[in-house]
Amino acid sequence: MAGAKIRLCVDHPLGPGQSLPLTEAQAHYLFGVMRIGVGTALLVFNGRDGEWRAMVTAAGKRGGVLACEEQTRPQLAAPDLWLLFAPVKKARTDFIVEKAVELGAARLIPVQSDFTNAERIRPDKAAAHVREAAEQCETTFLPEVAALTPLPRLLSGWDPARRILWADESAARASGGATSPAALFASLAPGAWAILIGPEGGFSDKERAHLRSLPFVVPISLGPRILRAETAALALMTLWQAHLGDWR
């Protein structure tokens, strides 16, 4: 079926016969970049109603219309993993957002820590990266990107039933060595989790002391080398998925 591999994230509800008007950007992508036209089938999803096959019924430079035909996959929930991350430089933050979608995070919360540069995250741009990554990785789930939240406020209102795996770079330097990730994960139960990654400058001493005092925070070392924030996010989400998530 020509065009069926194109996946487009849309806002409208999806159902049999549902008409889906396209934005100018979507029309440009489908008809200008992908060079498809009326009569071509493609896949659409909106993060709520699963994935559907749709047909192009009108195509123009500034818009177009798709007709929803039949569901190709049901809506699936993401594993119960949130990613709390301090925004870093733009391209690296984009990378974190993209990989978080691919690795199945259910919610992304940019965190303002003592050493975070707060101007580095644009929630609208981050949401656009989420959509692009979801189109590409064939998920039907669209994680929400929350507003930048100061770390103390996030922690004071935190539901302790959701435990936080805190990537603690100081554990990597601890004399005598920290518990290995494999041993640590063997002691943890599946359920509601979040992963916390710091900025380029790491966490301040005050933040470390605060995090250590909280019973729902589990510090983890990611080995003897200091990783860039985006590497740490990728590594820890991978470990979580393999031990507690939907790769098991």
Sites of contact with ligand SAM (CB under 6 A): 167-169, 172, 197-198, 200-203, 221-223, 225-229, 232
- Beta carbon of residue 22, minimum distance to ligand SAM (angstroms, whole number): 40
- Beta carbon of residue 96, minimum distance to ligand SAM (angstroms, whole number): 11
With CB atoms as reference, the residue minimizing the distance to ligand SAM is 198
Which CB atom, from 86 or from 134, has the smaller least distance to ligand SAM?
A: 86
**Pairing between strand 107-112 and 149-150?**
parallel
Please give the radius of gyration of the chain, using alpha carbons only, rounded to the nearest integer.
21
- Beta carbon of residue 159, minimum distance to ligand SAM (angstroms, whole number): 21
Q: Which tokens belong to 184?
A: 């640590």
Give backbone dihedrals phi and psi of 144, rounded to 5 degrees, phi first: -80, 145
Which CB atom, from 56 or from 172, has the smaller least distance to ligand SAM?
A: 172
- Beta carbon of residue 93, minimum distance to ligand SAM (angstroms, whole number): 13
Which CB atom, from 27 or from 81, has the smaller least distance to ligand SAM?
A: 81
Region for residue 9 given its phi and psi (left: phi exceeds 0; alpha: psi -120 to 50; beta: otherwise): beta
- Return the ∠ at Cα 128 (arms to 61 and 238), rounded to 5°: 140
- Tracing tokens 């729902």 back to the chain, one arrives at 216
Which CB atom, from 55 or from 214, has the smaller least distance to ligand SAM?
A: 214
Which CB atom, from 190 or from 223, has the smaller least distance to ligand SAM?
A: 223
- Write the DSSP symbol of residue 33: I
- Beta carbon of residue 9, minimum distance to ligand SAM (angstroms, whole number): 30
- Return the ∠ at Cα 15 (arms to 10 and 20), rounded to 5°: 40
